[in-house]
């Protein structure tokens, strides 16, 4: 069992480069299924979720080859339309092959994702949207069966779901007629997917706005595409720099994609300098308490809620954190409380009363972002913090320990069976 061991109190400074966005790369890999031939994806992070998605594509008959950060996906012939439970249960995002399989083959048999550590994560919005564009859906024995060809429709999503927007895009791009998606998700990863699909020959307008219009085309061709920089990985290192005093420079992403986070970091007392593909952060005074509420993009990203809560745990007053996207994303608060944080949870609100210091402790990574946030807390805690269940962190952060070491952190990955004795 691997754990991350952090010795707190060592200053962070220097430069770190983020990779391609996990939440884009996974969907772009699915999108490659839409075109026969060999698609090349560059800037693909080397993380376990990408490895699972590669397995999904292989089961469908595609051939995936990784060379460093480049993937080639040969989707010349697909031999299956099934995303089986054993893979979907390992990574919920594999359900994004639903739209791509419907688009390419006119049918899909995809395991229902079920819940996960951050909430129940239903799929009803995906299903309703696909039905409106003419796909027949039935659910039986834990699987979604989808069949048919998209005929275009005016679809209003109940919520700007990232996954539903992506499935709808991929299911409609090769269909007939015009599909108008209202209340579409506006995340930069949607923009990246649309950019790739347009590169493949799709006709899509309005990405980045709440209304996306897809005009079906007959065929798509393979493409060579570079994955957008990971704004969430970048935000994680910037919050690390804010917790410590920095300066820390994070490159490889578009600062506009983190606009509200950077504004909140400034209000918390940090000095933030933006440049073309990155940001430098530093802090000399105290961390100021402030409120955040997570919302779909361009609101504050739920994926940075836990790291930001670690920062507010050391602020000069009380902060209210409101989680509006996932119902179960506060488990991290119970773990950081073991390090001395003072956090009260009431439904989807967390009241964070800043404390003077955190103390290192054995803690368990509850999920991907919560795990990373516990490591950040450990960087500024007194003494040693041992974070277990770090397979969650491996899902989304390439070389997390090495990148933090590059900034001067005393952190290592060890094989432990008993975190108390690590
Ligand atoms: N929802 C429904 N019904 C649906 C779809 C969504 O009720 O049919 C609910 C979800 O249960 C959730 C909310 O709507 O409460 C938001 O879900 P959304 O579909 O927008 O999110 P997602 O596509 O499941 C992606 C990212 C998440 C990120 C969210 C929000 C991937 C693989 N995952 O999830 O990333 O938090 O968008 O930005 O792209 C992470 O990277 O740690 C992560 C969880």
Strand order in the sheet with 63-67: 63-67, 70-74, 38-42, 224-226
CA 194 to centroid of ligand 1, rounded, Å: 18
| Residue of 48, 325, 329, 331 to mutate, ligand 1, most atoms within 8 A of C-beta | 325
What is the pTM (predicted TM-score) of this model? 0.97
Q: What pLDDT score was predicted for residue 306?
A: 98
Kindly tell me the burial class for residue 284, based on how many C-beta atoms sit within 10 Å of its own C-beta (0-12, 13-18, 19 or more): exposed
Q: Could you tell me which residues are beta bridge partners of residue 205?
A: 213
Which mutation among 19, 23, 181 tests ligand 1's pocket best, with the greatest number of atoms within 8 A of CB?
Answer: 23
* Residues labelled catalytic: 22-23, 116, 121, 303, 395
Q: Per-block average pLDDT, block size 10, for the chain (422 residues)?
A: 94 97 98 98 97 96 97 97 91 92 96 72 90 94 93 96 97 96 98 98 97 97 98 98 94 98 98 98 97 98 98 98 93 96 96 98 96 98 97 96 98 78 49
**Polymer length in residues for the chain:** 422
Using CA atoms, how far apart are residues 247 and 242, in angstroms rounded to an integer?
9
How many whole angstroms separate alpha carbon 207 and alpha carbon 192?
9
175 lines ligand 1 (CB under 6 A): no
What SS3 string covers the chain?
CEEEEEECCCCCCEEEECCECHHHHHHHHHHHHHCCCEEEEECCCCCHHHHHHHHHHHHCCCEEEEECCEEEEECCCCCCCEECHHHHCCCHHHHHHHHHHHHHHCEEEEECCCCECCECCCCHHHHHHHHHCCCEEEEECCEEEEECCCCCEEEECCCCCHHHHHHHHHHHCCCCCEEEEECCCCCHHHHHHHHHHHHCCCEEECCCCCEEEEECCCCCCCCEEECCECHHHHHHHHHHHHHCCCCEEEECCCHHHHHHHHHHHHHCCEEEEEECCEEEEEECCCCCCCCEEECCCCCECHHHHHHHHHHHCCCCCEEEEECCCCCCCCHHHHHHHCCCCEEEEECCEEEEECCCCCECCEEECCCHHHHHHHHHHHHHCECEEEEECCHHHHCCCCCHHHHHHHCCCEEEEEECCCHHHC
At residue 416, the pLDDT reads 76
Question: Sign (positive/negative) of CA torsion 39, 45, 49, 52?
Answer: positive
Q: Is the CB of 419 under 6 A from ligand 1?
A: no
Q: Provide φ and ψ at 179, rounded to 5°.
A: -110, 120
**Would the CB of 121 count as within 6 Å of ligand 1?**
yes
Contacts of 90 (CB under 8 A, 6+ apart): 52
Q: How far, in Å, from the CA of 161 to the mean position of ligand 1?
A: 6
pLDDT at position 46: 97
Q: Is 214 in the pocket of ligand 1 (CB under 6 A)?
A: no
Integer angstrom CA distances of residue 201 from 92, 197, 216, 228:
28, 7, 10, 19
What's residue 192's pLDDT? 98
122 CA to centre of ligand 1 in angstroms: 9
pLDDT of residue 114: 63
Distance between CA atoms of residues 29 and 96, nearest Å: 10
- For ligand 1, say whether the CB of 28 is within 6 Å of any of its atoms: no
């Amino acid at each position: 069992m691997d754990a991350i061991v952090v010795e707190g109190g060592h200053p962070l400074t220097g430069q770190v480069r983020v990779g391609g966005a996990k939440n884009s790369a996974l969907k772009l890999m699915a999108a490659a299924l839409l075109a026969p031939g060999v698609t090349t994806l560059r800037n693909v992070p080397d993380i376990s979720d990408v490895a699972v998605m590669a397995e999904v594509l292989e089961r469908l008959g595609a051939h995936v080859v990784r060379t460093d950060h480049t993937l080639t996906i040969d989707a010349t012939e697909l031999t299956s339309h099934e995303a089986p439970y054993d893979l979907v249960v390992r990574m919920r995002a594999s359900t994004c092959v639903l739209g791509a399989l419907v688009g390419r083959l006119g049918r899909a048999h995809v395991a229902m994702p079920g819940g996960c550590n951050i909430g129940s994560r239903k799929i009803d919005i995906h299903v309703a949207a696909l039905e409106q564009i003419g796909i027949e859906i039935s659910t039986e024995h834990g699987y979604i069966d989808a069949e048919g060809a998209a005929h275009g429709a005016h679809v209003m999503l109940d919520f700007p779901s990232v996954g539903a927007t992506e499935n709808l895009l991929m299911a409609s791009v090769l269909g007939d007629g015009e599909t108008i998606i209202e209340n579409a998700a506006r995340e930069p990863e949607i923009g990246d997917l649309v950019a790739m699909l347009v590169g493949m020959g799709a006709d899509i307008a309005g990405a980045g706005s709440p209304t996306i219009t897809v005009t079906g085309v007959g065929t798509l061709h393979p493409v060579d595409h570079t994955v957008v920089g990971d704004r969430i990985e970048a935000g994680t290192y910037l919050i690390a720099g804010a917790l410590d005093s920095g300066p820390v420079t994070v490159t490889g992403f578009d600062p506009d994609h983190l606009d509200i986070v950077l504004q909140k970091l400034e209000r918390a007392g940090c000095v933030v300098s933006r440049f073309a593909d990155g940001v430098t952060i530093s802090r000399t005074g105290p961390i100021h308490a402030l409120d955040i509420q997570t919302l779909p993009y361009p609101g504050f990203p739920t994926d940075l809620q836990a790291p930001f809560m670690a920062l507010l745990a050391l602020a000069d007053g009380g902060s209210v954190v409101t989680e509006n996207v996932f119902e179960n994303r506060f488990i991290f608060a119970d773990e950081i409380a073991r390090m001395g944080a003072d956090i009260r949870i009431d439904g989807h609100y967390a009241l964070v009363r800043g404390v003077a210091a955190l103390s290192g402790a054995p803690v368990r990574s509850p999920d991907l972002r919560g795990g990373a946030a516990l490591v950040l807390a450990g960087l500024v805690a007194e003494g040693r913090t041992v974070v277990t269940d770090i397979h969650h962190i491996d899902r989304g952060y390439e070389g997390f320990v090495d990148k933090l070491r590059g900034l001067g952190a005393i952190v290592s990955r060890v094989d432990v069976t008993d975190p108390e004795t690590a």
